[in-house]
Structure 1
C-alpha cells in the first residue's frame, strides 16, 4: 500500500512540476508515455463497453459489412405418407 501511495505522490509531483513550467527531456518522455497509456486504455475501454473487437479495425473491409446476395431459391417439397 505504501508503494502505491509513493508512486501516486511521485507521479503527481512530476505532473505539478511540469505544469509549473520547469521540465526536462526526461519529463517530456514521462508525459508522452503517461498520455499514450491513458489514451490506449481509453480506446480499449471504449470498445470493451460497446462490446466490439478493437482489433477488427486492423483488418481491411471488416468494419463495413457488404450485403450478401441471397443465393437460396424456392423449391417444391413433396411429402408422402
Structure 2
C-alpha cells in the first residue's frame, strides 16, 4: 500500500521470449543459455514446445516415487 507521497515503483519490463539477431531466431529460457539459432520464428516456436515437453518429462522422472500433487486446497484436504 502506498501513501500519496510515496514514489511508486514501476513493474519490471517484460521482454519477449523470442528475438532475432542477423536474420536468425532465438528463444530465452530461465535455466541455461538461450536456444538457437533457428531459421524462422516459427521454427523457434516449435523448438520451444519441444524444449518444454522435454523439461516436463525430466522433472517427472526426477520426482520422488509416490509424490502426488493435489488441486484441492489445504482446507479441503484437512476436512476430508
TM-score interval (norm. to shorter) = 0.3 to 0.5
Q: TM-score, normalised by structure 2?
A: 0.38
Work out which of the two has the higher radius of gyration on C-alpha atoms and give 1 or 2. 1
- Greater relative contact order, per chain length (Cα 8 Å cut-off, separation 6+): 2
Q: TM-score, normalised by structure 1?
A: 0.37
- Relative to its length, the structure with more helix (as a share) is 1
